[in-house]
Structure 1
Amino acid sequence: MRRRWLFADQLGPHFLDGPRQPVLLVEAKSVFRRRVFHRQKAHLVLTALRHRAAELAGRATFVQAETYGAALRRVDGPIDACHPTSRPARELLRRHPRVEVLPPRGFATAPEEFMAWAHGRHTLRLEDFYRDARTRLGVLMDADEPIGGRWNYDSDNRLPAPKGQPALPVPEPPMPDEDDIDAQVRRDLDAWQADGVRFVGQDGPRLFPATRAEALDRLRHFIEHRLADFGPYEDAMLAGDPWMARSTLSSSLNLGLLDPMEVVAAAEQAYRSGAAPAASVEGFTRQIIGWRDYVWHLYWYRGAGYPRSNALRATRPLPRWFAELDADAVQARCLADVLAGVRDRAWVHHIPRLMVLGNYALQRGWRPSAVADWFHRCFVDGYAWVMTANVIGMSQYADGGAMTTKPYAAGGAYLDRMSDYCHGCRYNPRHRLGPDACPYTAGYWALLDRTRDSLTGNHRMAQPLKGLQRLPDLEAVVAQEHARGSRAP
């Protein structure tokens, strides 16, 4: 039997063919030399890999080496591997004649199924893909119809943050207990830093599952205690509640500790038993077999040039305060809190990513590929396949609308409506000019001014562009934003 090479994002049992299959696990230090990762991300990946090696002791060969190539030279015999999740990893496998590459695992839709769906379509929209996946997989269906007669419950899942509440009334996700493997990883990372390997962000207690047992425990807790509230407040933000009712399972899925279909099955069972409403279960399911699979397949379908897309011609570099997660340099309350969340946890939920971090980058015209790389390196669930479509396509509109119908840009009014950030902030979300002008409100109009030629003809942008033409102080707003430059707001 061939030895199965498990990458560090292929750690669940569904990546193996049986209980006796020999396994290869490789820890390559060069991965962490090439990029400046968040310290907690590096810790999670390494401890998950080492925990899996300990679980498979007796049939696993665990090699710690400087490079993957050096590790392979220390292993004899034929090897196979499930299709990796990045182009560089795929090329690595193709260069080694001893390695047979198998079809991908860890996703609900196979490549040939995605290709069959995409064939002949002028646009590849999430909603169409999601409905096809629901039908094909038989998820949340009553015979041939979606549950409740509706495919989409988005209109029920847009409540703003509850007024006067510092946090949602749901228990926080259970935190893992660190062990001797975690302690050794922390010592090794300290030694690596002394040897010149750089990280960003704060070290801290591990917050995310590193084993399948931990991931299953968090899944059970979410289904029982948090899923019911997931839907209504899916788009809301609270400064005092980083977790809200999110599942916090993205890193477990992306490490391969959980299979997406078992996660969806658990959510559907909660709906069928009456433990969670349709809107919450549908919204969560959409994220797993809809959005997650969708961005995975777009990473491969769009080709190697997609990460360099730059339809809005954004060329500014990431400022140092942002790149280094210097939240203390920021006065805008929303951005300071969210950037601190990245610094301290290597994670914030989807809406702060899109509407605080990505929105600010889009408004300032930062280079999309640099923004995507930052998200890849600084988030525990960040990988090239995750962040390419999420950032290049959705967040930065760098593909010119191939993925979304309009840019995800908004001013301070949106943040004021959907969060409690604007209360106590030195900036006023209603002001676009002056010392208390909200950087998001001013930045929104500066973005429209800079990109109006590219957005003219987009029917969803017609009304905002008309508003731009009527703005009496546009020239002063643009000058103000130009003067701000790369300074932290």
Structure 2
Amino acid sequence: MHWLFGDQLGPHFLRPSKDSGLTREAPLLMIEARSVLRRRRFHRAKAHLVLSAMRHRAAELGDRVVYLRADTYREGLAHAAGGGPVTVHHPTSHAAVRLVRSLPQVAMGPARGFLAPMADFAAWADGRGDRRLRQEDFYRWMRQRHDLLMDGDAPAGGRWNYDHDNRLPPPRNVPTLPVPAPYRPREDEIDDEVRRDLDQWEKDGDVSFVGLDGPRLFPATRTEARTALKRFVEHRLPTFGPYEDAMLTADPVMSHSLLSASLNLGLLDPAECVEAAEAAWRSGAAPLNSVEGFVRQIAGWREYVWQLYWYFGEDYRDANVLRHTAELPGWWSDLDADDVRARCLHTVLAQVRDTGWTHHIPRLMVLGSYALQRGWDPAAVMDWFHRCFVDGYDWVMAPNVVGMSQYADGGRTTTKPYTSGGAYIDRMSDLCGPCPYRPGDRTGEHACPYTAGYWAFLDRHRALLEHNHRTRQAVRGLDRLADLDGVRRQERARGDGPP
């Protein structure tokens, strides 16, 4: 019997191989464990998507699969397999690996759903000696290793990196980008069943959720995921690159692919995504800067984050170099956007509440930056991102939040803390327009919480950041602030209420 976890749903998880012990005739097991939903207060849309995807996959597999609804994985496994042998692909979290290794009857094969084997990454990382494990170096290694966007030994177009072309602010006086809408699935009777079950479990007090559920916005089947990929490559990829870092109030999706949830459920293989994008460029259907930006997100950043999660080990999640310990306030944990006056934070928090998704810049420069400036516990921030995003998993959020967003690892993965004043948000979005706060004000009733928070953050961590070549100049700017004492008072008075 072969056990499929709920994020191992694509056909590439059923290919027979000797290293996994999986055969073409092996019966399959899927376990829907209620204890997973009790463990965290997940976003309702995320719980719906995962259960819908699992139940859809079980319906597709038919008689080959035993689908159990159990209280725990152990209970389901005992019921389905007794003491008989079971195989499973390497799970996607340290906790799940611990569980599998505690079960003597279960043999664990290598991971699937990623481009590079863990051993190959470890060899690459170990071979770098004292040099830091920068994403750019890893990305170039991946491009060469997998012959992605390469012309012989050289990068296509003569450049590895098109970030300069892909960091444009949004076009002014345009509420939405003039691009075709993303693919949206249609719900069916399985979704109805999932929603009824979630309603009942909440009514019984068995589980509790945050956020809204419905209609389902992300693929729950392989067919839906492939349709979403095809629509993105044919209609949205050409305009993806230039504005991938921009934000528009009325257009949270912009030209983004919305494929992360499908990739992280295992409905899509990363190889088919990057190969489709490269084919679009080689056929002249999409420009190189957009294709390179998309390939960088999947073969570069997504793969890098996955590999670091395992290479750094389980203790990495507890890193806290800045010694931030403040608790997340209730309005944030409950996604209570309505009481937030700062327009950027109100808008993005409402997007999370309503859909369980925003693209990478609102996550990093609005949500993550605010948490960093307030000094919130990075482990709690990581857990919040894990729970509240439809594409959030432990392996996704540990490096993304602990490392990049909260700088809790002290620079093992990034060269500086990713935080800024309101000027950055104003430049890269239309979010600041009617906001009661002014991006340029550090103090007073119109002081932008991001601008005041940025200078207060630099002030608190001056001793550390003045030795960083990328933050040294900004730290020196503190000595030119005539109102620094006012900034300090302003931040102390702000408390943990919504800005």
TM normalised by structure 1 equals: 0.99
SS at the partner of 1:459? coil
Instruction: Please report how far the alpha carbon of residue 470 of structure 1 lies from its aligned counterpart in structure 2 after TM superposition.
Output: 1.2
1:55 aligns with 2:63: no
Q: Do the aligned residues in 1 keep the contact of 2:453 with 2:491 (CA within 8 Å)?
A: yes
Measured in 2, the distance between the counterparts of 1:79 and 1:21 equals 10
For 2:20, the equivalent position in structure 1 comes to: none
For 2:49, the equivalent position in structure 1 comes to: 44
Measured in 2, the distance between the counterparts of 1:127 and 1:119 equals 16
Measured in 2, the distance between the counterparts of 1:415 and 1:207 equals 27
For 2:370, the equivalent position in structure 1 comes to: 360
Measured in 2, the distance between the counterparts of 1:316 and 1:16 equals 45
Q: Do the aligned residues in 2 keep the contact of 1:411 with 1:444 (CA within 8 Å)?
A: yes
For 2:26, the equivalent position in structure 1 comes to: 21
For 1:259, the equivalent position in structure 2 comes to: 269
Q: Which amino acid counterpart does residue 245 of structure 2 have in structure 1?
A: D
Q: Which amino acid counterpart does residue 152 of structure 1 have in structure 2?
A: N
What whole-Å deviation, never above 9, does each CA across 1:107-153 have from its counterpart, x for those lacking one? Answer: 01111110111013221000000000000001101111110011010
What whole-Å deviation, never above 9, does each CA across 1:398-435 have from its counterpart, x for those lacking one? Answer: 00011100000100000000000111111100111100
Measured in 2, the distance between the counterparts of 1:243 and 1:364 equals 27
1:188 aligns with 2:225: no
Measured in 1, the distance between the counterparts of 2:247 and 2:278 equals 26
What whole-Å deviation, never above 9, does each CA across 1:175-213 have from its counterpart, x for those lacking one? Answer: 111011000000000111012211001122000000000
**Root-mean-square deviation over aligned CA pairs:** 0.8
What whole-Å deviation, never above 9, does each CA across 1:277-315 have from its counterpart, x for those lacking one? Answer: 110000100110110010011111111111111111111
1:91 aligns with 2:101: no
Measured in 2, the distance between the counterparts of 1:473 and 1:414 equals 21
Measured in 2, the distance between the counterparts of 1:177 and 1:441 equals 42
Q: Which amino acid counterpart does residue 48 of structure 2 have in structure 1?
A: H
Instruction: Please report how far the alpha carbon of residue 456 of structure 1 lies from its aligned counterpart in structure 2 after TM superposition.
Output: 2.3
Equivalent position to 1:292, from 299, 302, 311: 302
Q: Which amino acid counterpart does residue 36 of structure 1 have in structure 2?
A: R
Measured in 2, the distance between the counterparts of 1:326 and 1:350 equals 21
Aligned residue pairs, count:
487
Q: Percent identity?
A: 63
Q: Do the aligned residues in 1 keep the contact of 2:29 with 2:66 (CA within 8 Å)?
A: yes
Deviates more, 1:145-154 or 1:195-204: 195-204
Instruction: Please report how far the alpha carbon of residue 58 of structure 1 lies from its aligned counterpart in structure 2 after TM superposition.
Output: 1.2
1:320 aligns with 2:318: no
What whole-Å deviation, never above 9, does each CA across 1:329-383 have from its counterpart, x for those lacking one? Answer: 1000000000000000000000000000001001100110000000000000000
Q: Which amino acid counterpart does residue 166 of structure 2 have in structure 1?
A: N
SS at the partner of 1:57? helix
Instruction: Please report how far the alpha carbon of residue 75 of structure 1 lies from its aligned counterpart in structure 2 after TM superposition.
Output: 1.5
1:113 aligns with 2:115: no
SS at the partner of 2:220? coil
Question: How do 1:227-238 and structure 2 match up within 5 A?
Answer: 227-238=237-248
Q: Do the aligned residues in 1 keep the contact of 2:466 with 2:476 (CA within 8 Å)?
A: no
Q: Which amino acid counterpart does residue 116 of structure 1 have in structure 2?
A: A
Give structure 1 regions of 4+ aligned residues with deviation exceeding 3 angstroms: 18-21
For 1:418, the equivalent position in structure 2 comes to: 428
TM normalised by structure 2 equals: 0.97
SS at the partner of 2:357? coil
Q: Do the aligned residues in 2 keep the contact of 1:394 with 1:404 (CA within 8 Å)?
A: yes
For 2:351, the equivalent position in structure 1 comes to: 341
Q: Which amino acid counterpart does residue 9 of structure 2 have in structure 1?
A: L
Q: Do the aligned residues in 2 keep the contact of 1:358 with 1:396 (CA within 8 Å)?
A: yes
What whole-Å deviation, never above 9, does each CA across 1:250-287 have from its counterpart, x for those lacking one? Answer: 00000000000000000000000000011000010011
Q: Do the aligned residues in 2 keep the contact of 1:4 with 1:16 (CA within 8 Å)?
A: no
For 2:184, the equivalent position in structure 1 comes to: 175
Measured in 2, the distance between the counterparts of 1:450 and 1:120 equals 36
Equivalent position to 2:87, from 58, 80, 85: 80
What whole-Å deviation, never above 9, does each CA across 1:83-127 have from its counterpart, x for those lacking one? Answer: 000011001111111111000000011111101110132210000
Measured in 2, the distance between the counterparts of 1:80 and 1:336 equals 46
Any unmatched runs of 5+ in structure 2? 17-23
Measured in 2, the distance between the counterparts of 1:315 and 1:100 equals 40
Measured in 2, the distance between the counterparts of 1:320 and 1:201 equals 14
Measured in 1, the distance between the counterparts of 2:469 and 2:361 equals 24
Question: How do 1:154-169 and structure 2 match up within 5 A?
Answer: 154-169=163-178
Q: Which amino acid counterpart does residue 91 of structure 1 have in structure 2?
A: R
